[in-house]
Amino acid sequence: MHFVKKVPTTEQEKAAKEKEHAKRSAQFLHARDRIIAKRDAGEYDDELLSLTQAILEKNADIYTFWNIRRTAIEQRIEANELIQKNPEIGEDEKLKSGQKLENLLAGELFLSYECIKSNPKSYSAWYQRAWVLQRQAAPDFAKELALCEKALQMDCRNFHCWDHRRIVARLANRTEEQELEFSNKLIDENFSNYSAWHYRSIALKNIHRDAQTGETRIDDSLIGSELQKVKNAFYMDAEDQSAWTYTRWLLEVGSGKEFLRPESAAPIELISASFHGNNTTLVFSRAVTVPFLLTFVDTKDTTRWRAFSSTSPHPTSSRVWQYLSDSPLRVVISSPNAENVEWSDLKEIYVNRRRLETIYDVVETPEPGYIQELLQDCHQLIELEPKNKWPLYMKTLVLMEYQPIKAHDEIITNLRTLSDSLDSKRSELYKSLLSRQKLNHSIREQFERLLGNEHDQLVVRYAELTSLEGVEYLAGLVGNADFQGNLLKEIHRIVLPNLHSLTISENPIESLSPSPSLSHLTFLSIAGTQISTVQSVMPFFQTTPSLDRLLFAETPLVEKTEELRAQLPGVRLIPHWL
């Protein structure tokens, strides 16, 4: 126990404790060996039940003994069923047999109750209760729900109890509306009850889930009323994360996707399809496998496909796929729900403009009525508690979702404040979000040009990019990329497999790792980086057989020009600015 003063013990007291411990250990080992011997001999009798009970009362987490008890009880259940079905046995005997079994099951509930009292988070004891309830003739669900409520009053975050509550509610045929009201009761008693908020979200999901699609859609009026509920928690304790987390969930349900993950919106859609002379490139809104993408093309060949990913050199599921062939595939470009299938022979690049506009926030999402009120509440709380991260974090999320263009500068300022002062422990998260916002901003400025047929260049310079996550959706459109002056530390995560020219000058890069998605590069600029040795770049160059020009001015690698020339005899090396 913390803050409890340790009292010195004498050698005699230590010896007595050790003797008592040895005695108890010997008793446990004797009982354990006896239990195992009886189990191995198939003797699931009353002695076995008594032995396991004696040990479980002291340690409820020995799940093997609970398993043994269930086997013993199952045997008695089967024996009782035979008696009940036997026409030669009288009703009195049948009644006695049934009552004996019910008494055994009731005793098992009492045992698990005693175990839970001493260890409220014993998974095995809670599991045993649910198992018994499902075998009783007339389980007392009201009593069981009351037990759950009592346990949750002692520890509102006991997830073992919450799981048991869900099982009991299902067995008792309680409606989701009743469970919603139960969560209401607990939240009214303690608005910091994170588990009750979570339980509430599950109930709302189940109530508003579409039976056919499985999607959850909650209308604006309900979201507005739920936000009024959490608003009280905001103003009572704005530091408490429970209500803020629930608010984020509400807004995600309202938008139909997870915040900060544009690809999470359903369904899977084809983003672009393009032919590049030796391959057909398909880009999807979410990662797909070969069997799935074959439904979009006019071939059943599975051998010529290759996938590209920022996390794996040989992915089997990816957003970006290439089919290696000197002739283009025919591709389905109609929506999955369209009555007639529309094909494209890819004489021109196919682009799903509407989906790309969503991914890069080219068009702002219409704001529901409750959004302005939430923004006003966040603004007021920021003024009241300027050092509290939660209202600023929530306001920033809302602006990113609904006002990414209009409030771009404010979003960047907020993310810097969160990263530098209010929540520095999660600094990398905010830097990543800032990077994506900057990337989206740059892509928006070049959006029309990128979707045209005359240019394939993407330029994002001096934008504080720490990651290029999200650029892969342009894999079929970009052949020339310039990311000079950012904060990138690696390039093997760039998923632009049709890239022929790449500038990553003035980034804090120290080495180049192999990158299958950059194998078609003919020009690479690493000028102004921190690369200093030939060994740190050769693994990458071994995967770029088409490279013919390398600019590495203002790097420590300049001093190793001759060594590099020996390794790359077919590449024009440019160690100085022309």
pLDDT at 99: 95
Under DSSP, is residue 383 helix (H, G, I), strand (E, B) or coil? helix
CATH 3.80.10.10 intervals, the chain: 456-574
On the question of pLDDT at 225 being above 60, the answer is: yes
pLDDT at 255: 64
Concatenated DSSP letters of 480-504: EEE-TTS----STT---TT--EEE-
Band of the pLDDT at 7, cuts 50, 70, 90?
A: low
Under DSSP, is residue 76 helix (H, G, I), strand (E, B) or coil? helix
Strand partners, 274: 281
Nearest to 172 by CA among 132, 128, 141, 202: 141
On the question of pLDDT at 392 being above 80, the answer is: yes
Q: For the segment 550-566, what is each residue's pLDDT rounded down to a tens digit?
A: 999 999 999 999 999 99
On the question of pLDDT at 9 being above 70, the answer is: no
pLDDT at 3: 45
Tell me the pTM: 0.82
The mean pLDDT value for 265-276 works out to 85
On the question of pLDDT at 266 being above 80, the answer is: no
**Percent of the chain scored above 70 by pLDDT?**
96
d(CA 370, CA 314): 45
On the question of pLDDT at 381 being above 90, the answer is: yes
Mean pLDDT of the chain: 91
Band of the pLDDT at 263, cuts 50, 70, 90?
A: low
pLDDT at 256: 57
pLDDT at 264: 55
Band of the pLDDT at 1, cuts 50, 70, 90?
A: very low
Whether the CB-CB separation of 520 and 500 falls below 8 Å is answered with yes
* Eight-class DSSP state of 269: -
Whether the CB-CB separation of 479 and 456 falls below 8 Å is answered with yes
On the question of pLDDT at 474 being above 90, the answer is: yes
d(CA 370, CA 92): 67
**Which segments within 52-180 are labelled E, that is strand?**
none
On the question of pLDDT at 456 being above 80, the answer is: yes
On the question of pLDDT at 355 being above 80, the answer is: yes
Look at 119-123, 301-305, 312-316, 469-473 and tell me which has the smallest mean pLDDT. Answer: 312-316
Q: For the segment 138-188, what is each residue's pLDDT rounded down to a tens digit?
A: 999 999 999 999 999 999 889 999 999 999 999 999 999 999 999 999 998
pLDDT at 259: 56
456-574 falls under which CATH superfamily? Answer: Ribonuclease Inhibitor (3.80.10.10)
Band of the pLDDT at 335, cuts 50, 70, 90?
A: confident
pLDDT at 300: 94
Whether the CB-CB separation of 444 and 405 falls below 8 Å is answered with yes
On the question of pLDDT at 250 being above 90, the answer is: no
Band of the pLDDT at 86, cuts 50, 70, 90?
A: very high
On the question of pLDDT at 540 being above 50, the answer is: yes
